[in-house]
Structure 1
Amino acid sequence: MGVSRLDVLYRRFLLTKLFIQGWGKPEDFKRMFEFRKIIGNRERCKDFIPKDYPVVIEKVEEQTDCKILNGHFISPLEHAVPGILPPESVKARFQFLVPKTWKKYKPVCIHLAGTGDHFFWRRRTLMARPMIKETGMASLLLENPYYIL
């Protein structure tokens, strides 16, 4: 398959090096737009991920104020639209910080990594641990693809 003319034209006007190898295969875009119709429908989407979806816990660390669970899972998108994700994005790695004692409710905050946040340390130390101490809220820290592991 040849290079898209739109990609070539766009690259001529680019000042940065983002997307210099194109935006992907047109058939992948078609597959993503078809999947968007499924995920956009609430009735079809609510059962998209089963309640017993497999999550692997690799290591559990006992801390004074919490438990830290290290693990991974396969992205549900890989099952829905096989081959659409780059290999580095198929396996999602995470740390889950759970307070030693839960209160009446069990709130969880999901922390996505910002640009340059290569591992869990910054989010764990500056956000998740204080949240456990102050409010008893658990935190799920997702690792960015292409970083560390």
Structure 2
Amino acid sequence: MMNFDNLFRRFILTQSFVRGWGNPFYLQEIFTYRREKIAKQKGNQNYINDRFRSPLVNYLPHLVPSQVATAHFHLVLSLDHRFGIDSVPIEISYDGTGDHGFSRRRLLTAVPLINQYPIGSIILGNPYYGLRKPSDLLHWCQKMKLTSAILHGFSLGGHMASLAFTK
């Protein structure tokens, strides 16, 4: 880390950090607590990525795998919207067949709604799908004594079953 400090000092003209950036362990510890970027602005839209804890965890925590416990969503609003001050209609969009992320619903629904009408969007990820799909779902079934699992579903459920089976 000292070599990096010496190199960095050659490119700056101020006297900040003249004795280095401190203990490398402390820097690594600080990086573990940094937050990911949750908001992005593009054109007339303000995109906010966030998550919340599924209410089912409060009632049946032993039935909810850790990957499913956290629900992810994108909030799309106009750039000039003021939280807590402006009132705006909102649509809530759920995953469709083959929709693993948020981009399709953002592009086809949320952006046209915010551009043509003052309607915001919450794009929600379904449980057991996309970011919330446990990689070890069948192992979890075995652990819970739910053996001889049959993967089945209609429409979106069938697609999800085929994805789980092929993974």
Structure 1: any 5+ residue segments left out of the alignment?
1-55
TM-score by structure 2 length? 0.50
- Structure 1 or 2, whichever has the larger Rg, is 2
Select between 81-90 and 69-78 the one with higher mean Cα deviation: 81-90
Matched residue, 1:59: 38
Aligned AA (1:147): G
111, 118, 132: which one aligns with 2:114 = 132
Counterpart position of 1:46: none
Match of 1:78 among 47, 53, 57: 57
Q: By how many angstroms is 1:78 displaced?
A: 0.4
1:99 to 62, 75, 78: 78
Assess if the C-alpha contact under 8 Å between 2:41 and 2:79 holds in 1.
Answer: no
Please tell me the residue identity of whatever aligns with 1:65. Answer: N
The answer to whether the Cα contact below 8 Å between 2:95 and 2:124 also exists between their aligned partners in 1 is yes
Higher strand share: 1
More helix by share: 2
Secondary structure at the aligned position of 1:101 is classed as: coil
2:40 maps to a residue whose letter is E
Query: What TM-score, normalized by structure 1, do the two folds share?
Result: 0.56
Aligned to 1:49: none
Partner of 1:122: 104
Please say if residues 60 and 70 of structure 1, whose CA atoms lie closer than 8 Å, have aligned partners that are also in contact.
Answer: yes
SS at 1:106's partner residue?
Answer: coil
Number of equivalent positions: 94
Q: Shift in Å at residue 148 of structure 1?
A: 4.0
In the other structure, the counterpart of 1:111 is 93
Checking the alignment, whether the CA contact within 8 Å between 1:66 and 1:97 is kept in structure 2 is yes
Residue type of the alignment partner of 1:94: F
For structure 2, the 5+ residue unaligned runs are 1-34, 133-167
- Residue identity in the other structure for 1:125: L
4+ runs deviating over 6 angstroms: none
Please list the CA deviations of residues 28-81 of structure 1 after superposition, one character each: whole Å capped at 9, or x if unmatched. xxxxxxxxxxxxxxxxxxxxxxxxxxxx98511011111100111110110122
Cα gap change, 1:130 to 1:121, in 2 (>3 Å): same
The answer for the alignment partner of 2:129 in structure 1 is: 146
**Cα gap change, 1:77 to 1:57, in 2 (>3 Å):** farther
Counterpart secondary structure, 2:62: coil
